[in-house]
Chain A
Amino acid sequence: MNDFATLQVLAREFIDPAALVAVLPLVPLLPLLAAAILALRLAAGTEHGDAQEPLTARIALLAAIGALALLMLLDLAALFGTLPTSVVVGEWLSIGAVPIRISFIIDAYSLSSATLIALIGGLALRFSATYLHRERGFQRFFLGMSLFLAGMLLIVLAGNAVLTFVGWELAGISSWLLIAYAWERPVAVGNAQLVFLTNRVGDAGFLLGIGLAAWSLRTVDWLAMPGDGSAATVTLRLLLIGFVAAALVKSAQLPFTPWIARALEGPTPSSAVFYGSLMVHAGVYLLCRMQGLLLQVPDMMALLVLVGAATALYGGLCALVQSDVKSALVFSTVGQVGMMVAFCGSGLFWLAAVHSGVHAAWRAYQFLLAPDYMQLVGRPARPVPAWLAKNIWWYTAALQRFWLESLAHALITRPTLALGRDMRTLDAHLIDPLVGAPRNDESPLGQLAADELIRGHGLAGRLLFAFSDQVRRLEDHLLLSGDGTLMKRLQRLVDYADAVESLLEQPRYLLLMVMATFAVIL
């Protein structure tokens, strides 16, 4: 105890908490800066060739190491109890009366998660510098990874929901960048799209949560959100539906699980950190952050237990029948994360947090090692367990991943596209004719029949035509009943008008005329 006290005194002497807190924003900012520099290098076109590889890797790695070093210092300071629980850097914007600050949360959970993220991210970056040597997308990969690292660090450190959401989106877009890494292959592109869109469902949920929090709880700060327990349960339930949906999507829980198997299309190091170890736990992190609110709505907790348990079973079953190591790993990851969600649902948030940390570290190691398993493991792959092999229904279902993807395709993708085609038809066959716009396939001036000067289009045009027909008939009737002198005078007038009109048809006179009109008006 004495030693600890001495250490504390020493730490207070050497670590200035005010300065540390001031540099806290640098933690997510450093990888973000690295990403910006890499993007500018890409835009400037100076990234080509092997010679640039070390520099690229160094920029990304330095940022990660810098973030890690800062976090270690913060950890030390926090260990000796000299840090505040939250830091407000400034106001970013405000929604009505609800201010949205650039604020960070400093507690045991956020600091330990952030340290783990920086550590695993740095290791993966170092690993990739060798692994991706002489790959064409080397620079792009490091850009995506740095962006991802910034996003993840922001998710765990952010003091309010909006800032967490920024990280959430950054992680989503960087995962798109890395899954579509091999862009020549249509499968990779399609998978990247599917993953991003599924994640976007969660993002919509997140936005819903933010919106409801902003006007029912009057705050978006994580620490203030649980409130005093006076908020109406109905509002809380709605709000939680949003946040929980976001968490379930990011952590690939049922029914959103299929995206994670598709996401393995990217290079191994990125799969390792995204879907093996870090991003997949972001949902669990969010649930733990929400515990004050979750505890107020018991039925939401029950839902979490249900979904988590179902996903654990699903992941376990599917993992058993996979034939490649990455898929098997990712399904068992999903299973484990399902257990964490179930823990959250049972109120064991601390267990979920510990489990997610240990699991993240272990999976990162496993995934990075995955390409070497062929050499490392001497014996043949373990066959499907006998009880599953015998039960044909379960076996097929597991192989087909319980048809979740086909279901989503049939229920969501196809109807949406069909609706789109219907609207295209509606535009062309209903709205255009009603408005009376000429169709694209016919020129407005050419190809008219010999006896018509202009042609009416659509409902509006026809109506106008019918009207002018009536007027002409009336005129004919009036003129023909006269004795002809009127006709002659009119004829002369028409001749003049024709002459003027033929002049006006030339663009320069038309312009002149328009100008003259304006001159008169002015």
Chain B
Amino acid sequence: MKNERLNTLTNGIVKSNPTFRLVLGTCPTLAVTTQAINGLAMGAAVTFVLLCSNVMISLLKKVIPDRVRIPAFVVIIATFVTVVQMVMKKFLPSLYDALGVFLPLIVVNCIILARAEAFASCNPVLDSALDGLGMGFGFTLSLTFIGIVRELLGAGSFFGLPIGSLGNVSMTIFVLPAGGFLVYGTLMALVNYLTALAENRKYDSSKKKGKKEAKA
């Protein structure tokens, strides 16, 4: 049982990473990752909303009539997004400006809706919370990763700190939308390749184990 819970948590980070495996929420992914810090902030905001909305929807799943569940989900999600927005505007105004319209757009972020629809509305509260946390972490990690690569290549800095004289030879294309697609696609290919490699290895080793057991 504990193991299952752990799986629910890690599911969103590697196996069904929302960005690289489920390809959900690509719009904010491509738009805000021009800098690593933006990716991190976006990820944190989404994680918070996802966690809260998953818990709330899971609590209310018996109350919400099936026919109007999507509007109900959106209302719940919008509530938390508004909270995030107000907090950010007050305490992190520069990030609030950098994320711009993509912060309120978290309301219709398909990761959050998808997890509400596919997981929270038919699972207990604790599992939904873990799922939201895992998915949020996965999203944050991916966005930060894309942001790091784009910032490094496009502006020659790491979380805003310039690295040597890399800024002189940096390639502007990587902070432009075209570079976003380029980095996203390349990283997705890389992540899928590595995951497939790891799965094959697991499969091979389990086969070997099976053989050994058969011999014994």
Bound together: no
A interface residues with partner B (beta carbon < 8 Å):
none
B interface residues with partner A (beta carbon < 8 Å):
none
